Amino acid sequence: MRTRKPTPVRVLACGAIDRGDDGAALRALRLVPAATRRRWRVEEVGQLSAEQLIGDPSDMRRVVIDCVAGLTPGAITELPLAELPELEAASGATSSHALGPGQAVALAAALGAVGQRDWFIGIGGSSFGSGSGLTPAVEGALDEFARRLVAVAEER
Amino acid sequence: MHTGTPQDGDLHFEVGQLTRVEGEGSLDLRVAADGTVAAQLRIFEAPRYFERLVVGRTPDEVIDIVARICGICPVAYQMSAVHAFEHLLEVEIDPAVRLLRRLLYCGEWIESHALHIFLLHAPDFLGYPSALEMAHDHLELVSRGLSMKKLGNRIVAIVGARAIHPLSVRVGGFSRAPRAQEFDELYSPLETAITEAEATVKWAASLDTPPSDREPRLVSLRHPGEYPMSDGRIVSSDGIDLSPDDWRSAFHEVQVPWSHALQASAADGVPYLLGPTARVALAADQLHPRAAAALKATRISPEALRRNVFHSIVARAVELLHALAEAADIVASYAPPARPASAWKPKAGVAAWATEAPRGLLFHRYKLDAKGIVRGAQIVPPTSQNQAAIEHDLALFAPAVLHLPHDEATRRMEQLIRSYDPCISCATHFLQLKIEHDR
């Protein structure tokens, strides 16, 4: 009997741990069992940028996790990474300092660097102040955020 | 945009939000009845108070805090701070540590210059509103830019422990020096990138640049044996020659009512230009041989490079090549330092130094007490120093484009502003364009 070769997984966790709900993805990652995490290539990327999505093997599944302003705090959304630009445009969130995550994905997609295997999981957040912790709504949804990450990354 | 305010007889031109620059600001132009133009770069991003945040902190804490001023050029802030402290504290630096710091700076120049050339400035020359639209027609160009940016980030991550806001720089050296094997992954990408950067210089020189002619005062570091980064003397095209801790003897900061960012000014009030054009003009003889050869092959004269503001993309491409070639040389010869950091003892006094951020000279000055705690700070980023030159050049350039439809005039003036690669986030943090005409 032949065993199916597992799909390589790369998790790109966005956000800053010391900026309130912006640290939700990094905190959720800590809730994932170490044995599961070891199967993945995990990177804390701060803010997602287009170059982070280029150069990966085509069979790799990339899962981007982040906290999203504009969603109901604590609400979790998952969608193909290629659809993130639409979510970002709908939320009205833009940055004058850099490409937003959705714009970064759109740029990478224009280069053919975003595939059908790639997913985005976001959790709504409301407070992004320096030095603050998670808001209760995000704290309460963190276990579910981590569970959804594992399910998407492991194709369960 | 508003054009014309008949009540006061002014013609008023307003660019609401500068795009493809780092930060937030606007531009107001007032055109007098005699045709003279006054430009005001309105930087309204909130002050960030970093000079106060570092008070009460130790030098090593300051190095980590000032890295947070900018996500594009954190290394520059670390380098100016660490050199200032080490100069005061008379710390002797291992030559291998010094090379490692140059490699770290090369990494930052690569990611910053690649970002600006390919993603922020190229769309101006090729007629696209953004890199995203440009990518559909110029896939190879955008891909090249992203690959180079990724490589620059990777260098910073290996040396600095993190690509953005690196962590490893310490007074005396680094908290950890990489093992030589950690650079193995860089050899092949650097060689590829050097070849692509040579093509980039040629491409940048082939771009159709708008006419522009001015004689800027250029200021940069200059070192007798290397291209300016962290050492040398502050020199200008008209004879300024200062130690890098002595910036305040020739320059000072002033508050203008229309900007949250302090503007820096020379003692005589004449604006001055920092950055790639200044460095290439003042230190062309120190360029890496491959960068010097690529610049020579463009057949752009040193005078044209200096006088046409839009040729800054060529100067930036030359520096991109320089940084890649120097990084390759350092990586190839790298041997870890015996110790990652030299010991030091606190001392009261004034710590000051200037290094070359990707956008130009970055000056830091700290007052330390006997325990080595910072009691006062002054940080003068390159965009603060370039503001007056940007306003001066806009006033010169505007009459040539004000007759154009508003969108086109705005695009041309934004292109000029982007030639400086301004980082408003650093300067506090740009473009609304507002024009007023006196009739």
- Those residues of chain A that have pLDDT short of 50 are 96
Instruction: Find residues 331-360 of chain B whose CB sits inside 8 Å of chain A.
Output: none
| Number of C-beta neighbours around residue B108 at 10 A | 29
Contact A119, A81 (CB under 8 A): yes
Q: Which of A123, A126, A112, A139 is nearest to A50 (CA)?
A: A112
Over residues B42-63, the pLDDT tens digits come to: 776 667 788 899 999 999 999 9
Please give the pLDDT value at position A98: 62
CA separation for the pair B99, B305 (Å, rounded): 30
Polymer length of chain B: 439
Percent of chain B with pLDDT over 70: 90
Interface check B152 vs A, CB under 8 A:
no
Residue B192 CB partners (closer than 8 Å, separation 6+): none
Mean pLDDT of B168-184: 97
Interface check B192 vs A, CB under 8 A:
no
Cβ distance of A103 and B132 shorter than 8 Å: yes
Over residues B2-14, the pLDDT tens digits come to: 344 434 556 776 7
In SS3 terms, A60-108 reads as CEEEEEEEEECECCCCEEEEEHHHHHHHHHHHCCCCCCCCCHHHHHHHH
Check residue A74 and give left, alpha or beta (phi > 0: left; psi -120 to 50: alpha): left
Please give the pLDDT value at position B190: 98
pLDDT at B21 over 60: no
Residue A125 CB partners (closer than 8 Å, separation 6+): A20, A21, A22, A24, A67, A68, A69, A71, A73, A135, A138
Of A89-93, B98-102, B141-145, B298-302, least confident by mean pLDDT is: A89-93
Closest residue to B139, CB basis, from A47, A51, A111: A111
Burial pattern A101-112, b for ≥16 Cβ within 10 A else e, equals bbbbbbbbbbbe
Burial pattern B45-61, b for ≥16 Cβ within 10 A else e, equals beebebbebbeebbbbe
pTM: 0.89
Interface check A103 vs B, CB under 8 A:
yes
Displacement of CA B293 from its chain's centroid (Å): 23
CA separation for the pair B320, B71 (Å, rounded): 18
The residue among B102 and B33 whose pLDDT is bigger is B102
Contact list, B131 vs chain A (CB under 8 Å): 107
Cβ distance of A107 and B17 shorter than 8 Å: no
* ipTM of this complex: 0.82
Please give the pLDDT value at position B430: 34
Interface check B175 vs A, CB under 8 A:
no
| Mean pLDDT, chain B, integer | 90
The residue among B257 and B148 whose pLDDT is bigger is B148
Torsion of CA B339, B345, B346, B350, to 10 degrees: -80
Q: Which of B373, B80, B381 is nearest to B253 (CA)?
A: B381
Contact list, A103 vs chain B (CB under 8 Å): 132
Closest residue to A97, CB basis, from B22, B132, B153: B22
Cβ distance of A107 and B23 shorter than 8 Å: no
Contact list, B139 vs chain A (CB under 8 Å): 110-111
Phi, psi of B147 (to 5 degrees): -65, -40
Nearest CA in chain B to A104: B132
